[in-house]
């Protein structure tokens, strides 16, 4: 059997029957691959934010006046002027015209650090939750196995990301925003019709994650799957409710 066929078989097993996957391949032993899934999600989210910035920038039309970064801030020029050593650029205009779409794209890119860090923070919280949850129901868990199970729960987020970007493209693809000040309200109005679908995507993602977490924890801690579903489902439900409210 080729390596490629083995990988595809394992992936198919994980998608269709995660419990059988963990029973055959183990939990702690699959930690490196689970870690790659988390890293891949961080990269995918960064790409997603970049794409989202492009979608929003495409919906915004026009220019806006902003402070000139090449001119000293505040009343510096009024007090000192260009003749003062170390003070330059006072002959530049106080404001310059910028493309509104470019500003929106830059604002979106400002969130890159946050979205890259978020999957690792959630992985840490998920790993601790799985570990303590296994102990709570009387199982014998390991940190390596717990973090592996939590890492595999990142896989459904890829589908949610793609669905979200497609939905936003459909909602904003034909939108034209000419007033940057009213842009937030215009965007909210444009995406209002798809918000129920985004909520459904969030719930379905959580259900899939619970399917993975309960299967992995039941194997890792050697406990009943229902008990594993309860101790992982409660914090997962709270997380989903927090994001939807």
| 179 in any annotated domain | yes
Report pLDDT for 80.
62
Contact yes or no for 201/164 (Cβ under 8 A):
yes
Question: What's the pLDDT tens digit per position in 164-197?
Answer: 999 999 988 887 877 777 778 888 888 999 999 9
How many domains, in total, are found in the chain?
Answer: 1
Mean pLDDT for the stretch of residues 6-16: 90
- What torsion do the CA atoms of 80, 85, 90, 92 make, to the nearest 10 degrees? 180
The range of the structural domain enclosing residue 120 comes to 19-51+111-244
Contact yes or no for 233/136 (Cβ under 8 A):
no
**Cα-flanking dihedrals φ and ψ of residue 66, to 5°?**
-130, 165
Report pLDDT for 71.
76
Question: What's the pLDDT tens digit per position in 143-168?
Answer: 999 999 999 999 999 999 999 999 99
Report pLDDT for 87.
64
| 63 in any annotated domain | no
Q: What is the pTM of this model?
A: 0.88
| 148 in any annotated domain | yes
Cα separation values, 46 from 112, 161, 212, Å: 6, 11, 24
| 135 in any annotated domain | yes
| 86 in any annotated domain | no
């Amino acid at each position: 059997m080729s390596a490629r066929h083995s990988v595809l078989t394992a992936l198919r097993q994980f998608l269709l029957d995660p419990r059988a996957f963990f029973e055959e391949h183990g939990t702690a032993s699959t930690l490196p691959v689970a870690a790659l899934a988390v890293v891949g999600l961080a990269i995918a989210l960064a790409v997603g934010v970049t794409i989202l910035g492009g979608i929003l920038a495409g919906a915004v039309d026009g220019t806006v006046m902003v402070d000139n970064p090449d001119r000293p801030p505040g009343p510096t020029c009024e007090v000192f002027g260009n003749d003062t050593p170390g003070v330059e650029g006072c002959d530049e205009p106080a404001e310059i015209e910028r493309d509104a779409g470019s500003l929106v794209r830059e604002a979106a890119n400002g969130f890159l650090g946050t979205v890259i860090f978020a999957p690792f923070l959630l992985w840490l919280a998920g790993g601790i939750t799985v570990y303590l949850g296994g102990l709570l129901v009387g199982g014998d868990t390991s940190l390596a196995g717990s973090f592996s199970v939590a890492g595999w729960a990142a896989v459904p987020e890829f589908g949610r990301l793609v669905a979200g970007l497609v939905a936003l493209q459909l909602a904003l693809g034909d939108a034209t925003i000419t007033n940057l000040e009213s842009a937030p309200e215009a965007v909210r109005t444009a995406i209002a019709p798809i918000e129920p679908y985004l909520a459904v995507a969030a719930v379905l993602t959580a259900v899939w994650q619970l399917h993975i977490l309960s299967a992995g924890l039941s194997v890792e801690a050697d406990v009943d799957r229902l008990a594993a579903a309860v101790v992982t489902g409660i914090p997962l439900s709270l997380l989903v409710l927090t994001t939807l409210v």
